[in-house]
Every structure is written in C-alpha cells, then in structure tokens.
Amino acid sequence: MDIVPKELMHLISFFQNIEGVGSKLGQKLSYSIILEPQKIDELVNILHQVRLKVGRCTICGNIATKSENNKFICSICNQLNTRNSKQLMIVENVFSLLSFESLGFYNGHYHIVGRLVHPTHNIDDLNFSLSSLVSRIIQSQYEEIIFGLSNSLEAELTISLILKLLKDNKLDFKNVRIYKLASGIPSGVDIENVSNKSLLDSLRNKILIDIK
C-alpha cells in the first residue's frame, strides 16, 4: 500500500530534481501546495504567465520579458545605450550575472554562455552554442572582454575554447584587451556563492590574458 499518492510523488520528484532544492525542501514545497488547495490554482496561473511572457534574452541570454513586438530583450540589453558599449563580460549563467550586477561596479554588456566546457563534452556541440557569442564579439568591436568565470578547470577550458574560436574567426586581438578574474575566488566555488568583497576585489584586480 502506497502511503503517498503517485501524483504527489511526481510533484515531490519534480521539485527535488530542481538544482539547489533537494529532498527535504522538495517534500516541504509539495505538501505546502497540496495542503492549501488555493495555492494550486495560483501556482498554475503563475506558471502559465511565466511560460507566455518570460524567456531568454535574444542578445545576452539573460531572463527577459516578452516585449510588445514579441521579442525577448532583458532589462540590461534594453538599456545598452546607457552602459559602456566597449566592455563585455562573459558569465556562465544568470546567477553569475546577477552577482556581478549587484556589485554596482561593472557597467558594460554581458553574455551568458550557459555552461562551461567539461573534458567529456562534445566540442562540436559547444562550438555551435558559442557561435552567437563569437559573432557578437566580432560585430560589436569591444575594446575590453572580461571572463567573469569561476576558478576551475572547466572555466579555463572554456576560456581556451572561446579564444580559439575568436582566433579562427580572425578577431584582431591588437584592438581588444582580454581579462580573467584575479585570484582570490576559492577553487570550484560558483560565482554566486563568492562573497561580494572577494568578487569585487577579483574584478577590480582582473588579470590581462596574454594572447599569443
């Protein structure tokens, strides 16, 4: 005899599979919704609105609201004329972008790569996913590019791959300075889990990459 209905188990499993939620929180969220039936209708309506109106920014990959002309442009890219158009920061995900933006120090453009290179990844798939970033860099003529990535092997592999793709696409490195974050970020720690002080220090003291 199953104590927990299978439909509820499906809901619990759904929450538990969300990164950062875990087993106990997944159960707590599920039971909280089930024990207050009005929350179910509210959640369904919220998710429906999110599905209709929220997506990924077509410029940088950030979370965006659909505009009147049915395009997804985030609040940052919607005001690019007020930001430093000569700077681009490459970050792994939305959480990293929010961490840097919350510092109030950087005022350039962003681009989210979505995932970092892993030794077992299919390089051809990654080349395709990074093509929009490479095209943007070539077309925008940035003078400064910052790799706002974590201190990890995957981050170093990602930097190497992006630099290779830029070389293959004939980027003139004489006209652009390329940096990575300074040491001080703990190895293997995600950007969003780094303290504001450490993150700001690493950005202020960023290291120029010698392109050969």
Q: Are residues 24 and 88 in the same domain?
A: no
Residues 27 and 15: their CA atoms lie apart, in Å, by 8
- Judge if 49 and 75 occupy the same domain: yes
Question: What digits encode the pLDDT tens for the residues 90-123?
Answer: 999 999 999 999 999 999 999 999 888 887 766 6
In the DSSP assignment, the letter for residue 112 is E
Distance, in Å, from the CA atom of 151 to the CA atom of 24, rounded to the nearest integer, reads 30
Output the pLDDT for position 68.
Answer: 78
Residue 138 near residue 103, CB atoms below 8 Å: no
**How many domains is the chain partitioned into structurally?**
3
Confidence of residue 23 (pLDDT cuts 50, 70, 90): confident
Alpha carbon 128 to chain centroid, angstroms: 17
Report the alpha-carbon angle 75-79-82, nearest 5.
140
Say whether both 62 and 18 belong to one domain.
Answer: no
The DSSP secondary structure of 11-64, one letter per residue, reads HHHHHHTSTTTHHHHHHHHHHHHHHSTHHHHHHHHHHHHHHHHEEE-TTT--EE
Residues 70 and 140 placed together within one structural domain of the fold: no
Residue 185 CB coordination number (10 Å):
22
Residue 1 — pLDDT band, cuts 50, 70, 90?
very low
| 91 and 75 in a common domain | no
Last residue of one domain, picked from the residues 27, 57, 79: 79
The runs of H, that is alpha helices, within 65-122 are 94-103
- Domain residues for the domain of 12 are 1-35
Residues 30 and 91 in one domain: no
Residues 91 and 193 in one domain: yes
Predicted local distance difference test score (pLDDT) of residue 54: 94
Instruction: Express as a percent the part of the chain with pLDDT over 90.
Output: 57
Residue 102: the pLDDT is: 95
Amino acid at 134: V
One domain, residues 195 and 149: yes
Mean pLDDT of the chain: 89
* Spatial CB neighbours of 189, under 8 Å, sequence gap ≥ 6: 150, 151
Q: What is the mean pLDDT of residues 129-158?
A: 91
Q: Write the pLDDT tens digit of every residue in 42-57.
A: 989 999 999 999 999 9
Q: How confident is the model at residue 128 (pLDDT cuts 50, 70, 90)?
A: low
Percent share of the chain, pLDDT over 70: 95
Together in a domain, 24 and 44:
no
Do 74 and 110 belong together in one domain?
no
CATH of the domain at 199: 3.40.1360.10
* pLDDT for residue 84: 94
Helix, strand or coil for residue 36? coil
Confidence (pLDDT) at 39: 86
- Reading the block at residue 81, the tokens are 């004329």
Ranges 11-25, 85-99, 162-176, 180-194, most confident = 85-99
Does pLDDT of 12 surpass 80?
A: yes
pTM of the model: 0.87
Whether residue 12 sits in one domain with residue 113: no
49 and 118, same domain (yes or no): no
